[in-house]
């Protein structure tokens, strides 16, 4: 075989082999670049998802803060009304106690007047007491 034939044979064999190697190497390089691009896209998607979750969480926290402020306002108003009601109840209790004390003093005084009247004018009849006081006097 001559050198020219040998060169042609090597060229005929080497050319498709080199083309095949080029295709394989190109595929591997493209695959690596694609993996890097996919990893970057996944990282970007994760970052975006974290931002969305953070925004959702912030909106949720803000709504809770708003509701908490409303509850605090209602609670303060309720406490104010409760304190006012307790003061009114205490005042009513004091008035009732004072009225009861005055009622008992008035009943004692009326009994003294009846006794005094019976001593001064024996045999005279007092007018009958009202029905509300009949059992007390």
Domain boundaries, the chain: 3-102
Largest CA distance in the chain: 174
pTM over 0.85: no
Do 109 and 136 contact (CB within 8 A), yes or no?
A: no
pLDDT-derived band at 21 (thresholds 50, 70, 90) equals confident
- The model's pLDDT over 87-124, given as tens digits with 9 standing for 90+, comes to 999 999 999 999 999 999 998 998 899 899 989 888 88
The pLDDT of residue 137: 66
Quick one: tokens of 3?
């050198």
Percentage of the chain surpassing pLDDT 70? 99
| Mean pLDDT value of segment 124-132 | 82
């Amino acid at each position: 075989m001559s050198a020219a034939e040998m060169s042609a044979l090597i060229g005929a064999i080497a050319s498709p082999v080199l083309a095949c190697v080029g295709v394989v190497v190109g595929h591997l390089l493209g695959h690596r670049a694609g993996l890097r691009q996919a990893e970057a896209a996944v990282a970007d998607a994760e970052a975006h998802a974290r931002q969305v979750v953070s925004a959702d969480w912030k909106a949720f926290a803000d709504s809770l803060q708003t509701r908490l402020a409303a509850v605090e306002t209602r609670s303060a108003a309720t406490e104010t009304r409760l304190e006012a009601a307790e003061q009114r109840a205490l005042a009513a209790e004091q008035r009732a106690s004072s009225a009861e004390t005055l009622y008992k003093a008035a009943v004692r005084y009326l009994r003294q007047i009846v006794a005094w009247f019976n001593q001064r004018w024996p045999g005279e009849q007092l007018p009958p007491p009202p029905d509300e006081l009949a059992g007390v006097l």
